[in-house]
Amino acid sequence: MTLKQGKNNGIYQVLSIHTELRLERRLEALGLTEGTCITILNNDKKGSLTARFRGTRFALGRQIADNIEVKEADR
Amino acid sequence: MADTIHIAFIGNPNCGKTTLFNAFTGANLKVANWPGVTVEKKEGKTTYEGQEFKLIDLPGIYSLTSYTMEETVSRECIMSDEVDVIINVIDASSLERNLYLTLQLLELGKPVVLALNMMDIVEERGMEIDFHRLPEMLGTPAIPVSARKKTGLSILLHAASHHKEYQSQGPYIHHHKDKHSSHRHNHHEEYAMVYEDYIEDKIDLIMSALTKQYPEIVNKRWHAIKLLERDSTVTNSCPLSLENIICKSYEKDIINQKYDFIEEIISEVLVNKSEKAASTERIDRYMTDRWLGLPIFLCIMALVFFFTFTIGDWLKGYFEIALEMISQYASSGLASIHTNAMLTSLIVDGIISGVGGILTFLPNIFILFLALAILEDSGYMARVAFVMDDIMSMLGLSGRAFLPLLLGFGCTVPAVMASRALEHKKDRFKTVLVTPFMSCSARLPVYVLFSSMFFGKYAMLVCYSMYLLGIVVAIGTAYILSKLDGSKAEHTLLIELPEYKSPNARTIAIYVWQKIKDYLTKAGTVIFIASILMWAVLNFGPHGYVTDIGESFGSLIGKAIVPVFTPIGLGYWQIIVALIAGIAAKEVVVSSCSVLFGIQNITTARGMDAMVATLGELGFGAANAYALMVFCLLYIPCTATIATIHRELGSIKQTLGILLFQLLTAWSISFLVYHIGLL
C-alpha cells in the first residue's frame, strides 16, 4: 500500500521510496528513509496529508504520499 | 584581551536559531547576502567578560550535503577559517531529527557546542533530557538555553570560549552491548559516530589514500566519508582513484546508520518519552481540518485587515493632526523669515505634504506587519501552506508557493525573494509573476485615501475587496498559465509543521522594527526625492518656473498619454502623472496627488473634502476611483520589486515580459471594472 492509503493515527513503516533523486535526498535529510516509522495525523483531504516521523510533524504533498510504499508497523 | 572569537550559529529551520541569535545581538546586526548567491547572511557582535565574540547566523538547514545553495554556503563557511566554534542550536522538543545535523557537524572536526533550545516545551510534555549522558555520548558540551526567556546565554558563550581549542572531543562512553566490532581500530574511543565495520574498513582505506595524495587535508575522516557518499564538491576538489574501494554510493547506509545511532542516543538520553497528545495536535485538528481549515484562515485574514483598518485609522487621525500642525508652523515660520515663494512652495507643498502624507500611514502598516509577524512566529503560516495545497495544486502550484503570496501582503520584495524556496524553475517563474498582484502594504495608502473619499462607510469593505481582487487575479493568472503550458506541474508540498508557541515579543519587535525602519527609510529617501522631483516637474515648464500647473512639464507628459487612459476612466493628466510617479514607490501616488491637485495635507478630513470637490468638477466619481484603485493594485510594481524580480530570474527579457503583462492586466481589468461601475 502507499502512504496516501493510510488511515489517521495509523503507524506505518516505509518499504521503499520512488521519487526523483532531489526529492529523495531531501526526504533522507529529514530522516525519511526505508524502515522509518510514520504516524499519519490527518489524511482526510484528497491531496496532501500531515504525518509525523523522527519526532517532527510534516505536511506531505500527494505526489510524495503516493510514491512512498509502506506496510502497517507491528505494534 | 584575546582575539575575537568567531562563532557560527547553525541549526534546523524553526529551531529558534534566529531568536537565540537576536537574544545575543539585539537588532544591531548586519544583514547582507553571501557573495555570489542570494542567501541571507547575518552578522552581529557581543561581549562577555571582556571577550569579544563575532556571531554569524547561518541559514536553517537539515543536512550538510551540497544539494541546496543554503547547505553549500553553510558548509563552506564552517569549513573556512572564518569560524572558530560552531554553536549547534537544537530544538530539544524534536531532538531526534535535530541530532542528524549534529552528527554531521561533529564529523567536520571543528569544536561544536550544543545549545538545546525549547526546553520549556520538553518539560511541558513531561519529558526530561539527561544532560550528563548526552555529552558523554557525543563528546561535546550540551547547554540548555531558552532563547525566549534569555536563560543560559552566558553559559553558552562561556562554553564556546573554553571549548574552542578542543579539536577532538571525548572521551566517549558508549554501551554498545550488541555491537562487537571486529574492526582493527576501536574507533568508539575516537569518534562519536562510528559506522558498521564494512564502512569503517573503507573509511580507513580512503584515509590512507588521502594521506598519500593530499597530506595537507586536515580532516581526512570527513573527506573519506564524503567520498563514500559520492559528494560532488569533495569528489571534484580531491579526485582519487578509488574503483577498488567504492563500487557504489554508500550514502543511504551512512544516513541509516546515523539515524540508528540517534535512536540509541534518544533511548538513553530522553527520559519519560510519554507522548501525551500535545496541544499542537489538538489545535491542528481544527486548523488543518478538511472543512474548517479554509474558513478559519479566511477569518484570521479578515481579522488582520479589520485591525489594520480600524485601529490603524484611529491612530492615523492623531498623526494627521500632528502633520497639519507641522505644516502650518512651517508655512508661518518660513513666511516670518521672508523665505521666497518658490522655496516655501518646495518645502510645504513638495516635501512636507509628500513625505508627511506617507508617514501618516505608519500606524496601518505597523499593525499589518505586527499581525503578520505574530502569525509567522506562532507557527500558523506553515499550516496555511497545507490548507491551501489542494487549491494551489489545481492551479499547478505547490501549497508552498502560497507563502510568498501571503508575504506579498506585507511587501512584494521579500515575497519575490521567498519564491526561492520553490524547487522547480517553472514554479518559481509563475510565483514571481503573480506575487506582485498580491496587494502590498505600500498600496494601502492609495486604497485608504480613495476609498474613504468616495465610499464613506463602505471604505473598509472596498479596501478588503482590493485584497480579494489581488488574490483572484493572482490565482486566475496561475490557473490560466497552468492550462496553457498543459503540463501537470511537478510541485510537491514538503514542509515542517512546527510546534505552536506563544509568539515571542522580542522576535516580533525586531521583525516589525525592521519593516518600520524600511518604511521610514523609504519615506526619507525614495519618497523624499520623488516628492522633490514631482514638485520640480510640476512647477517648471518649457518657460521656466510656472505658477499654473497646467503649463508644467508634468502636465505636458500626462496630457500626451490621456487617450490611452480615457477608456478606463483615468483620462486625467494629473492621475496619469501620479501613476507614473508611483513606479518609484506606490505610496508616491498619494503624495503626488496632493502635489498635483495642489491640496495640502490630503489625508486629513479637510484635505479629502477639497480633493473630492476638485475631482468632482472634473467628473471623477466613485467608478473612476475604484478603477484607479484596481489599476494601482495591478500595474507595474515599484522599482525595488522590479530590481528584485530581475535579480531572482536573472533575465531582462523575462522581467520586461512580466512588466508588460502586468500593465496589460491592469488596463484590461480596470477597463472592465470601470464599465461595470458606470452601469
Question: What are the residue ranges of helices labelled H in B45-192?
Answer: 69-79, 95-107, 119-124, 133-138, 153-163
Element housing B421 (H / E): none
How far is the CA of A60 from the CAs of A27, A51, B398, B460, B615, in angstroms? 10, 7, 11, 37, 53
Averaged pLDDT in 10-residue chunks for chain A of 75 residues = 93 91 82 88 90 87 91 81
Contact at CB, A59 and B399, closer than 8 angstroms = yes
> Measured between CB atoms, which of A30, A57, A64 is closest to B497?
A57
B338-385 pLDDT, tens per residue? 878 888 888 887 788 777 777 877 887 788 888 888 888 888 888 988
For residue B114, list its beta bridge partners: B88, B142
- Which CATH architecture describes the domain B192-271? Orthogonal Bundle (1.10)
With cell 552566558, the residue in question is B154
Contacts of B255 in chain A (CB under 8 A): 28, 33
**SS3 category, B5:** strand
pLDDT for residue B589 is more than 50: yes
pLDDT average, residue stretch B5-34: 79
State the Cα–Cα distance between residues B203 and B190, nearest whole angstrom.
Answer: 14
Q: What's residue B112's pLDDT?
A: 92
Q: Quick check: do B5-163 and B192-271 share a fold?
A: no
B178-212 pLDDT, tens per residue? 555 566 666 777 788 888 888 888 898 898 888 88
Question: What are the residue ranges of helices labelled H in B4-146?
Answer: 17-25, 69-79, 95-107, 119-124, 133-138
Contact at CB, A63 and B492, closer than 8 angstroms = yes
Q: What's residue B37's pLDDT?
A: 52
Q: What's residue B409's pLDDT?
A: 82
pLDDT for residue B332 is more than 80: yes
What percentage of chain B has pLDDT greater than the value 90?
Answer: 17
Q: Which of B223, B199, B386 is nearest to B290 (CA)?
A: B386
pLDDT for residue B422 is more than 80: no
| pTM of the shown model | 0.74
A11 touches chain B (CB under 8 A): no
- How close A75 comes to chain B (CA, Å)? 15
Q: What's residue A16's pLDDT?
A: 92
> Measured between CB atoms, which of B95, B386, B498 is closest to A50?
B386
For residue B452, list its beta bridge partners: none
A60 touches chain B (CB under 8 A): yes
- How close B62 comes to chain A (CA, Å)? 6
Task: Using an 8 Å CB-CB cutoff, list residues of chain B that contact chain A.
Answer: 62-63, 65, 67, 94-97, 100, 251-252, 255-256, 259, 280-281, 284-285, 288-290, 382-383, 385-386, 389-390, 393, 398-399, 423, 490-498
Q: Which of B156, B152, B140, B145 is nearest to B122 (CA)?
A: B145
B448-483 pLDDT, tens per residue? 889 988 998 888 889 889 988 998 999 889 888 888
pLDDT average, residue stretch B84-113: 90
Confidence of residue B216 (pLDDT cuts 50, 70, 90): confident
For residue A53, list its beta bridge partners: A56
- How close B188 comes to chain A (CA, Å)? 24
pLDDT average, residue stretch B523-530: 79
How far is the CA of A43 from the CAs of A9, A33, A39, B290, B431, in angstroms? 9, 21, 11, 9, 27
pLDDT average, residue stretch B291-319: 85
A72 touches chain B (CB under 8 A): no
Contact at CB, B491 and A61, closer than 8 angstroms = yes
pLDDT for residue B31 is more than 70: no
Domains plus CATH for chain A?
Answer: 3-72 (2.30.30.90)
Highest-scoring range by mean pLDDT, B259-273, B294-308, B504-518, B555-569: B555-569
Q: What's residue B639's pLDDT?
A: 81
Q: What's residue B170's pLDDT?
A: 57
* Cα-to-chain-centroid distance, residue B601: 34
Contacts of B95 in chain A (CB under 8 A): 55
Which residues have CB under 8 Å from B309's CB, separation 6+? B364, B448, B459, B460, B463
Confidence of residue B1 (pLDDT cuts 50, 70, 90): very low
Contacts of B284 in chain A (CB under 8 A): 41-42, 50, 57
Q: What's residue A11's pLDDT?
A: 94
User: What cell does B287 get?
Assistant: 486548523
Contacts of A64 in chain B (CB under 8 A): 492-494
State the Cα–Cα distance between residues B645 and B652, nearest whole angstrom.
Answer: 9
With cell 557573495, the residue in question is B35
State the Cα–Cα distance between residues B150 and A21, nearest whole angstrom.
Answer: 41
Q: Which of B629, B242, B296, B655 is nearest to B463 (CA)?
A: B629
- Which CATH architecture describes the domain B5-163? 3-Layer(aba) Sandwich (3.40)
User: What cell does B521 get?
Assistant: 527609510
Confidence of residue B29 (pLDDT cuts 50, 70, 90): low
For residue A13, list its beta bridge partners: A37, A71
Lowest mean pLDDT among A55-69, B64-78, B292-306, B556-570: B64-78
State the Cα–Cα distance between residues B420 and B418, nearest whole angstrom.
Answer: 5
> Measured between CB atoms, which of B252, B288, B496 is closest to A56?
B496
**Is the four-CA dihedral A42, B120, A27, B204 of positive or negative sign?**
negative
Q: Which of B521, B536, B525, B550 is nearest to B349 (CA)?
A: B536
Domain layout of chain B by residue ranges: 5-163, 192-271, 293-491+502-678
DSSP state of B60: P
User: What cell does B350 get?
Assistant: 513638495
Q: What's residue B171's pLDDT?
A: 61
Lowest mean pLDDT among B269-283, B307-321, B344-358, B574-588: B269-283
pLDDT for residue B276 is more than 50: no
User: What cell does B482 get?
Assistant: 497552468
pLDDT average, residue stretch B536-558: 83
How far is the CA of B353 from the CAs of B441, B545, B633, in angstroms? 20, 20, 23
State the Cα–Cα distance between residues B26 and B55, nearest whole angstrom.
Answer: 12
State the Cα–Cα distance between residues B536 and B554, nearest whole angstrom.
Answer: 9
Q: Which of the pair, B467 or B170, is modelled with greater confidence?
A: B467
Q: Which of B637, B635, B624, B639 is nearest to B665 (CA)?
A: B635
State the Cα–Cα distance between residues A30 and B350, nearest whole angstrom.
Answer: 56
What does pLDDT average to over chain B? Answer: 83
Q: Which candidate in B253, B386, B394 is best for mutational testing of the A interface (most A CBs within 10 A)?
A: B386
DSSP state of B65: S
> Measured between CB atoms, which of B100, B389, B398 is closest to A31?
B100
> Measured between CB atoms, which of B100, B490, B497 is closest to A50?
B497
State the Cα–Cα distance between residues B177 and B268, nearest whole angstrom.
Answer: 13
Q: Which of B424, B514, B430, B511 is nearest to B475 (CA)?
A: B430
**SS3 category, B455:** coil
State the Cα–Cα distance between residues B235 and B238, nearest whole angstrom.
Answer: 6
> Measured between CB atoms, which of A35, A55, A61 is closest to B493?
A61
Count of other CB atoms within 10 angstroms of residue B668: 12
For residues A37-66, b (16+ Cβ closer than 10 Å) or e, as one string? ebbbbbbebebbbbbbbbbbbbbbbbbbbe
Q: What's residue B562's pLDDT?
A: 92
DSSP conformation letters of A19-72:
S-HHHHHHHHHTT--TT-EEEEEE--SSS-EEEEETTEEEEE-HHHHHTEEEEE
With cell 557581543, the residue in question is B46
- The answer to whether residues B539 and B434 touch, using CB atoms and an 8 Å cutoff, is no
Contact at CB, A48 and B251, closer than 8 angstroms = no
State the Cα–Cα distance between residues B250 and A23, nearest whole angstrom.
Answer: 18
- How close A17 comes to chain B (CA, Å)? 12
Element housing B278 (H / E): none
**Is the four-CA dihedral B530, B587, B430, B478 of positive or negative sign?**
negative
> Measured between CB atoms, which of A45, A50, A61 is closest to B492?
A61
Q: What's residue B136's pLDDT?
A: 87
Element housing B48 (H / E): strand B40-48
Confidence of residue B66 (pLDDT cuts 50, 70, 90): low
* Cα-to-chain-centroid distance, residue B373: 11
Contact at CB, A60 and B398, closer than 8 angstroms = no
Q: Which of A61, A57, A56, A55 is nearest to A3 (CA)?
A: A61
Q: Which residue of B has its CA nearest to A19?
A: B492
State the Cα–Cα distance between residues B174 and B293, nearest whole angstrom.
Answer: 47
- The answer to whether residues B313 and B364 touch, using CB atoms and an 8 Å cutoff, is yes
CA angle B132, B134, B140 (to 5 degrees): 100
Strands B30-33 vs A49-53: parallel, antiparallel or unpaired: unpaired
Contact at CB, B100 and A29, closer than 8 angstroms = yes
pLDDT average, residue stretch B301-306: 82
